[in-house]
Amino acid sequence: MTGVTFRNLSKSFGQHSVLDNINLDIPSGEFVVLVGPSGCGKSTLLRMLAGLEPISHGDLLIGGVRANDLPPQKRNIAMVFQSYALFPHLTAAENIGFGPKIRGEAAAAIDAKVKNAAAILNLHSYLDRYPRQLSGGQRQRVAMGRAIVREPSVFLFDEPLSNLDAQLRVQMRTEIKALHQRLKSTVVYVTHDQIEAMTMADRIVVMNQGKIQQVGAPLELYDRPANKFVASFIGSPSMSFVSGRLGAAGAYFETADGERLKLNGGRASAFAGAVEAGIRPEHFVISGTDAAMKLRIDVVEPTGSETHIYGAVGGEQVRAVFRDRVSVKPGETLPVTADPRNIHLFDKATGLPV
Ligand SMILES: Nc1ncnc2c1ncn2[C@@H]1O[C@H](COP(=O)(O)OP(=O)(O)OP(=O)(O)O)[C@@H](O)[C@H]1O
Ligand SMILES: [Mg+2]
């Protein structure tokens, strides 16, 4: 079993810095998911871990040993890419057994490894087929089979499900999670898909512009985002923000138009600057009292189980999701509020919590 540590790790391509002082400890057996917008450096970090990209500054430790200069084949790491990169002229079995074969292992040993991987991945009936005869999900499983036969101590996945349709993604998500529970190997998994991150990860690493923004368990990030970026990135549909100021020693939040939200006071009492109140769509509550904000409704989407409402509070776009059926029409206003515990306040200037 092998853990991974990034210590003050940085990466530049020429003058262009893409990763800046990354510090992260991944204990052995943990399933870590990296998320962040396109170009924030997720793949570069994985490629550095795999040994496919040189490290500019800092240290990479694999199993406690400095591995900056270790060649890829000595790292005991297997990587599964978004493009499965299977050999088209080899069957599924030959693709899975390709690594052991070029390492010169005996035919019987290769056969046993392929059968074992096929059993784990539920691929036995497809072993004789060529990649073109397989569905996307089956090809993805062959690619994983190829990683499994390496018996790596660390698995790296770079958006392995993004070519699959929605239903298959959900199925493969469960399969990868079950695979991790069975093999208990360390996994570093990159995705754009925030539901994938929330459901699969032991811990999520949120990145932006080459920097780690926050590391934590999925619900920790959802409940206590470290800044506005994490607050807006984690959660789907994402958090809405309304600008304003705090009043009466943090007893309420007020927009420029005088729309108010009651707070539980204290926590933000001294903050006099401009703030943004962040509320998740599922945390809006329809209120009958005066201490509510007016949500002017633009679009109403009934999904059956929920009602999604797009509208504006004091000129800023918000989205609310109610578990009930709400009979309102575009153009009307709805008085909304939120439990003070579900109102996230950020300093408008810095994006940090107040
Ligand atoms: N070989 C390279 N030479 C120069 N710049 C590069 C190279 N590889 C990546 N970059 C740049 O480094 C930054 C990070 O790229 P990276 O591929 O790690 O992003 P990513 O987070 O994986 O994005 P995506 O979600 O789109 O896959 C980008 O700005 C990219 O243009
Ligand atoms: Mg990438």
Residue 184, burial from CB neighbour count under 10 angstroms (0-12, 13-18, 19+): exposed
Among all bound ligands, the one having the nearest atom to the CA of 37 is: 1
- Kindly list the distances between the CA atom of residue 165 and the CA atoms of 120, 173, 346, in Å, as whole numbers in the listed order: 22, 12, 37
**Could you give the CA distance from residue 114 to residue 286 in angstroms, rounded to a whole number?**
57
3-state secondary structure of 264: coil
Report how far Cα 196 is from the mean position of its chain's Cα atoms. Answer: 6
**Span 264-276, pLDDT tens digits:** 865 556 688 899 9
User: 107-121 and 136-148 helices cross at what angle (nearest 10)?
Assistant: 130
Give the pLDDT confidence of 18-71 residue by residue, as tens digits.
999 999 999 999 999 999 999 999 999 999 999 999 999 999 999 999 999 999
Predicted confidence at residue 344, as pLDDT, reads 95
Given this model, what pLDDT does residue 36 score?
93
**Quick one: pLDDT at residue 265?**
64
Given CA atoms 182, 48, 22, 226 in this order, what sign does their dihedral have?
Answer: negative
Per the structure block, which two tokens stand in for 316? 């800023």
CA distance 170 to 137: 11
Atom of ligand 1 nearest to the CA of 46: 18
Whole-number pLDDT of residue 250: 80
Q: How far is the CA of 84 from the centre of ligand 1 (A)?
A: 19
- Residue 290 confidence (pLDDT): 64
CB atoms within 10 A of CB 27: 14
Write down the pLDDT at residue 326. 87
According to the model, what pLDDT value does residue 169 have?
82
Any atom of ligand 1 within 6 Å of the Cβ of 18: yes
The pLDDT, as a whole number, for residue 325 is: 85
Q: Using alpha carbons only, what angle is made at residue 347 by residues 230 and 33, rounded to the nearest 5 degrees? A: 10
Tens digit of pLDDT per residue, the chain (354 long)? Answer: 689 999 999 999 999 999 999 999 999 999 999 999 999 999 999 999 999 999 999 999 999 999 999 999 889 899 888 777 899 999 999 999 998 998 899 999 999 999 998 988 888 899 999 999 998 888 988 998 998 898 888 999 999 888 777 877 888 888 888 889 888 899 999 998 888 999 999 999 999 999 999 999 999 999 999 999 999 999 989 999 999 999 877 888 999 888 888 888 655 566 888 999 999 999 999 987 767 899 999 999 999 899 999 999 988 999 999 998 888 999 999 999 999 999 999 999 999 998
Among all bound ligands, the one having the nearest atom to the CA of 35 is 1
Distance 10 CA to ligand 2 centre (A): 17
Sort strands 31-35 and 186-190 into parallel, antiparallel or unpaired.
parallel
Residue nearest to atom 7 of ligand 1 (CA): 13
> Side chain identity at 336, as an amino acid letter?
V
Average pLDDT, the chain: 91
**Backbone torsion region of residue 171, taken as left when φ is above 0, otherwise alpha when ψ lies between -120 and 50, otherwise beta:** alpha
* Ligand 1 proximity of 191 Cβ (cutoff 6 Å): no
| pLDDT for residue 171 | 81
Q: Considering just the CA atoms, what is the radius of gyration of the chain in Å?
A: 24
